[in-house]
Chains A and B, each alone.
Chain A
Amino acid sequence: MRWDDNPLLVVEHLTMRFGGLVAVNNLTFQVGRGDITALIGPNGAGKTTVFNCVTGFYKPTEGRLALAREGSATPADVEALTLSTNKHATTQTGELFLLERMPGNEIAWRAKVARTFQNIRLFQGMTVLENLMVAHHNTLMLASGFTVLGLFGAPTYRAAESQAVERAQYWLEKIGLTDRADDPAGELPYGAQRRLEIARAMCTDPVMLCLDEPAAGLNPRESMELNALLHSIRDDHKTSILLIEHDMSVVMQISDHIVVLDYGTKIADGTPEEVRNDPKVIAAYLGVADEEELASVEAEIGA
């Protein structure tokens, strides 16, 4: 399995406590490079908490989140970095990061992990194009000499800006919003806002894209388009995807690897086939014990 052979992110013993509540309990899983990994589970299973730990919005109570940005890191490298007080190390194959030691903005900029949110978080009063330009912040900041060069209209900055606009245009084309580039993001229909949020995340040029329920609220046709977009992101942009999703048709169709959570613990981990046939998942995931209901649930998720 790719997530064992070439993991991009190795999550080990991740535990997150809020006071007495254990939201995530000793969770260990791996995200394969170039995979679409789905994190599923019933409401309140701790999926979004895992996301918030991975993207630096929460500092995990315990656990290690090792991300090998390029190539694969050996366990010895990870061990050495863990023993040091550093956040990242340069190994023979590339940069290695310990995400639990980094704040959110550094995870996005250095470790190249981008995310979207369950309740869409666009800059509503800014135009579609501006939303995508904000995603180029750090690159443009460097090109503008931390504003000083940009203030005097240096050519390096202007070149960098037009490059950023080109990239934004590429993504606008891809999500079919070129015609609405100059409209405020808040005026877009719901499905378009979801796509724009994904495009904005992709403009940060991530190695891993975390999507929190990307198909929520989409109609079947929009779901199909989303599947195509996610496949294109995985195949054309070599960006691995970690997603939370409730829509089983989406999850089963596009995932290469599924991790199932229940009450903060992992109850299954494998390919879609393995997970779909796992009786523990069928029973625990939907909280049914009854034979008859089980059959109907099985039929529903297509087992």
Chain B
Amino acid sequence: MTAISQTSAVAETVDSAKLADRIKDATAAALLTVLLCVPIILLHADADIDGVLHANPRPWAVAIFALLAFFGRLAVSNAGAGVKKEARPESKIAATVRAATAKYLPPIGLVVLFVYPFVLLTLLGSGRSLKWVDSYGIQILIYVMLAWGLNIVVGLAGLLDLGYVAFYAVGAYSYALLATTFGLSFWICLPLAGILAALWGVMLGFPVLRLRGDYLAIVTLAFGEIIRSVLVNWVAFTGGGAGIASIPKITFFNLRFADEPDGFDAFFHLDYSPLHGKMFLYYVILCLALITNLVSMRLRRLPIGRAWEALREDEIACRSLGINTTNTKLTAFALGAFFGGLAGSFFSVRQGFISPESFTFIESATILAIVVLGGMGSQIGVALAAVFLIGGFELLRELDFLRAIMSSGTGVFVICLGVVVFGVIQSRKLAAQVAIVLIAAVFALRSFQLLPDAIFDKFAMPDFDPAQYRGLLFGLAMVVMMVVRPRGFISTRSPSIFLKEKKAVSGSLVKEGHG
């Protein structure tokens, strides 16, 4: 035996030992899935003609999930080993692409955002573009604005705030109450709502000044819940759980967006269309979001912004340099709350009806998820994350082709096989080839009708509704994102000032901000 073959033999033994470990690991994952699936999906309650419920066992479903878990785990455990590979230096092309993206994405994005409603109008016509302007355009932009506001607190100042929705609520109720009680116009209420929310931000800021990290997060979480409980219980003031209805709609220089002789459409000799109002709302929220962005970008280059970032990096060093950490934290809270309040006020004028239901913890969590997913402190990353999360969430309502795939047995079967193949490829080359041949064989048999359809029909999920899986799919997407890019879409920090050359700071050096 030569030395070389000895080495390769040793390597093979190590490799197969690793594979055995991974298979053990994957088996454990599959068993765990079975344990979890038994109480959750094994039994399906079906009502018969008399309305009596029967528990129908679905062992097939459990088996599918277990198999998916097995091969998924097999694939991931290998991918995890791959991560430890030495990071290759960025190639020239990749660097050029990145530089070009950084340079051209913001202006191009801006132009796209401004022409978006008109492009839709020409392409889809007034009726069908309504949805795209309203539930995609406006909805996403509200979250972009909220996330940019929270980014000041979490991303820049490093103060983990789990109760941001409280300021959104304060803004929304400020407009709703001021408009319904005193008949004030939206444009007067907008800054008032922002200022009121900022005051609440300062009020929250004072008690939490000494808290850091987890403790700060808990208190801000509690603050969010307090605001919501007050909204629910102070019925005389807020209308309680019933909320506030018939909030005045937005007007364009006192022209209402309504089908009436002195409305916006009649004034400009247009045919009445509900789209015009939505388009105006779209541009309003676009401008509000851009103002938020502009202000935070400018503040980053001012002493206050640098003090926020310094506070995130090291609070004690800040004090030793004469920075008043109290004021610095309070301004971060107040400014973040201010923009939250503006967004809330906009939400209220857009909906025309608000209730405490809209301001639950899940909203705070979503906004925070956008900030974290985007890359804390990065404006463009946060905007992309909002599009991805909110847009994707909305899009899942629409994906009828998913329903088509899942309700046909073959579709589910193909997806399952796909996961199997991926897992196998990740684990071993030879086995992968075998698996691919196997799949090809199954397809051949299927297409020549040599396999009974009953096998495939076992996999069919006729009741599949993608909208119901939104939470699951998004949880999954977040987990994958955090594995692949633990510091978010844009993980580098751009310096606020430079002497010769602006170099991005690697995310691993930047503190994540725990208070």
Task: Give the interface of A toward B (CB within 8 A).
Answer: 55-57, 103-106, 108-109, 114-115, 117, 121-127, 129-130, 133-138, 140-141, 144, 147, 150-151, 157, 165, 169, 178, 181-184, 186-187, 200-201, 204
Contacts and interface: CB of A to CB of B under 8 A. Distances in A.
Contacts, number: 137
Contacts of A57: 316, 319-320
A182 B499 contact: yes
The 6 closest A-B pairs by CB, nearest first: A125-B510, A109-B322, A108-B322, A123-B313, A140-B303, A121-B317
Contacts of B510: 124-125
Contacts of A144: 302-304
A124 B511 contact: yes
B317 A126 contact: no
Nearest to B316: A121
A299 B510 CA distance: 47
Of residues B306, B331, B503, which shows the largest number of chain A Cβ atoms within 10 Å of its Cβ? Answer: B306
A119 B295 CA distance: 35
Contacts of A147: 299, 302-304, 331
B316 A137 contact: no
Contacts of B505: 125-127, 184
Of residues B303, B317, B506, which shows the largest number of chain A Cβ atoms within 10 Å of its Cβ? Answer: B303
B85 interface: no
13 contacts: A105-B318, A108-B322, A121-B317, A126-B306, A133-B496, A133-B497, A135-B321, A137-B323, A165-B499, A182-B498, A182-B503, A184-B505, A204-B322
B320 A137 contact: no
A181 B295 CA distance: 26
Nearest to B493: A125
Contacts of B493: 125
Interface of B: 295, 298-299, 302-304, 306-307, 309-310, 313-314, 316-325, 331, 493, 495-503, 505-506, 509-511
Contacts of A114: 320-321
Contacts of B499: 129, 165, 169, 178, 181-182
A186 B509 contact: yes
Nearest to B500: A182
Contacts of B506: 184
Given A182-B503, A184-B509, A134 B498 contact: no
A115 B509 contact: no
Contacts of B302: 140, 144, 147, 150-151, 157
A200 B306 CA distance: 14
A129 B497 contact: yes
Of residues B298, B319, B325, B502, which shows the largest number of chain A Cβ atoms within 10 Å of its Cβ? Answer: B319
A148 to B, nearest CB: 10
B322 A127 contact: no
Nearest to A128: B499
A133 B306 CA distance: 8
Contact of B495 (A126, A134, A151, A201): A126
A134 B321 contact: yes
Contacts of A138: 322-323
Contacts of B511: 124-125
A121 B298 CA distance: 26
Contacts of A127: 495, 497-498, 503, 505
A127 B510 CA distance: 10
A137 B331 CA distance: 15
A57 B325 CA distance: 13
B178 to A, nearest CB: 26
Nearest to B502: A182
Nearest to B323: A137
Contact of A201 (B310, B313, B320, B497): B320
Contacts of A201: 320-321
A108 B503 contact: no
